Amino acid sequence: MLLAAVVETSRRVSETSKRLEKVGLLARLLLELRPEEIEIVVRFLAGSIRQGRIGIGYATLRDTQGSAAETPSLEIAEVDRTFQSIVETSGSGSQRQRSQLLHQMLSRATQAEQQFLVRLLMGELRQGALEAVMVEALAKASGANVERVRRAVMLAGDIAPVARALLEQGEAALAQYDVQLFRPVQPMLAGTADDVIEALAELGLGEAALEFKLDGARVQVHRSGDDVVVYSRSLNDVSAAVPEVVEAVRALPVKDLILDGEVLSLQPDGRPQPFQVTMRRFGRKLDVHRMRTELPMTPFWFDLLYLNGGNLLDEPQSRRFATLSEIAGASLIPHTTTSDAERAGEFLEQSLNRGHEGIMAKAIDARYAAGARGQSWLKVKRARTLDLIILAAEWGHGRRHGKLSNLHLGAPDTQKGGFAMLGKTFKGLTDEMLAWQTQELLKIEISRDSYTVYVEPKLVVEIAFNEIQVSPRYPSGLALRFARVKRYRTDKSAAQADTFQTVQKLAGA
């Protein structure tokens, strides 16, 4: 198929606001693809490419558009092959070779195709919201049940291979994406609520499950008989770093299971060690046995995804938690269930008094939505924080001379596209953080002027603040007051940052 057909569909999908029309357009395109084109096109339409990044800087891309072809001739497979050749080019002079390959391809593209390709490579077409529409289009094109498709995509953690399997082999191909032991699933994520009243209201005013929110490391543990593997939040096997967790799970009275929880190191009085201290256990080249006595880890389980051969993902939270309670013993997360805001407030105080971050409020009827930041889990903390994206940074003065310091903070605007600027801060940055951010930001530089370096919007940072103010200073109309950096969230991608819509909600706008 010609790239032009994809570009045209992409344009028409973005021009209509009618969901069913979007689904129809995508389904029609999907049905015309050859098998080897499916994964490529599904990625293009979501604004990404198989190669991830092709190592051509933002500035080069911006300046590459030369003369355009009159008629479309580029094939999809060719475009993918060119991207592949570009990533595979290395060694001296590779930068020039890469640009040449890109130029050659762009010179054969029409103007519309050029714009599409450049925006694709700059990450400007990336659209999380389109995935849900694509899931429906896949169901429509293949005749498969839409819920099954959604679940397979969730468990595969990637829509492209599911699309290919489905369109090539039909609905039966989805069986391979069922939950399986030792194939970790993306962890379910939480949204943010301002306070307990809002959390209860968001969850539907009935009873909600409340749990302490512990600040440690998220883990997912799979067990079959004596085999136990601990996976990190990014789904790496970290069993060797935490043998006591492996042993604790092995001691549970079950044959096989998948647990979801948080592990952290507690002080002798039961209060948590600071997050950074807990995380030392996951550092490289450590003497695990020594660390184990110095900094023992305690697991707290809050969910159960699989038990003795049966998958529990579609069971309501209340049932999963009830089953978990029967087996987890003292490792069950401290919890309560209530519909009363006052009791919820007391529970939050209890958690904060014991040194924890806050509480998690969960919908008792919600299934486990792997990989999704939904509204079924809401975190409530005292200090308000947002995960924002660094858009630019200013060179520091005095002691910070030569270091990128004042950060420009933005949140993705899911309605208008682009980013809403919410303020700047250099507070909370240690020397170590300054050095790190200078190095990392320069790697993703797009352009600069005399005192600011503009970067690709991808680095996520957790910002604490006191208030959201209405401010005429930024086009977004909002600004954070007393913003300070808590930590970098390198475990999060830009797509997982808090959106401007969340900020507006917090601001009551």
Known catalytic residues? 213
> Are 157 and 231 contacting, i.e. CB atoms less than 8 angstroms apart?
no
We find the least distance from the C-beta atom of residue 360 to ligand AMP, in angstroms, to be 4
Q: How distant, in Å, are the alpha carbons of 230, 245, 318, 326, 390 from that of 253?
A: 18, 15, 21, 10, 47
162 binds ligand AMP (CB under 6 A): no
We find the least distance from the C-beta atom of residue 422 to ligand AMP, in angstroms, to be 18
> Are 346 and 428 contacting, i.e. CB atoms less than 8 angstroms apart?
no
**Beta carbon nearer to ligand AMP, 12 or 379:** 379
For the segment 64-93, give every residue that binds ligand AMP (CB under 6 A). none
37 binds ligand AMP (CB under 6 A): no
Structure tokens of 144?
């498969």
**Beta carbon nearer to ligand AMP, 24 or 334:** 334
213 binds ligand AMP (CB under 6 A): yes
190 binds ligand AMP (CB under 6 A): yes
**Beta carbon nearer to ligand AMP, 77 or 189:** 189
Distance CA 267, CA 286 (A): 20
Q: Is the dihedral of CA 249, 253, 255, 261 positive or negative?
A: negative
Distance CA 488, CA 275 (A): 12
**Beta carbon nearer to ligand AMP, 190 or 246:** 190
Residue (of 39, 44, 35) closest to 3 by Cα position: 44
Distance CA 217, CA 232 (A): 7
Burial class (CB in 10 A: 0-12, 13-18, 19+), 220: buried
Question: Which of the stretches 17-25, 209-217, 250-258, 404-412 binds ligand AMP when contact is defined by CB under 6 A?
Answer: 209-217
Which residue number has the CB closest to ligand AMP?
Answer: 218
Structure tokens of 467?
């208030």
We find the least distance from the C-beta atom of residue 391 to ligand AMP, in angstroms, to be 21
Number of helical H runs and strand E runs in the chain: 18, 19
For the segment 376-435, give every residue that binds ligand AMP (CB under 6 A). 379
Question: Which of the stretches 27-35, 187-195, 286-294, 477-485 binds ligand AMP when contact is defined by CB under 6 A?
Answer: 187-195
360 binds ligand AMP (CB under 6 A): yes
State which of residues 166, 214, 388, 461 lies at the interface with ligand AMP (CB under 6 A).
214
Residues that bind ligand AMP (CB under 6 A): 187, 189-190, 211, 213-214, 218, 262, 302, 333, 360, 379
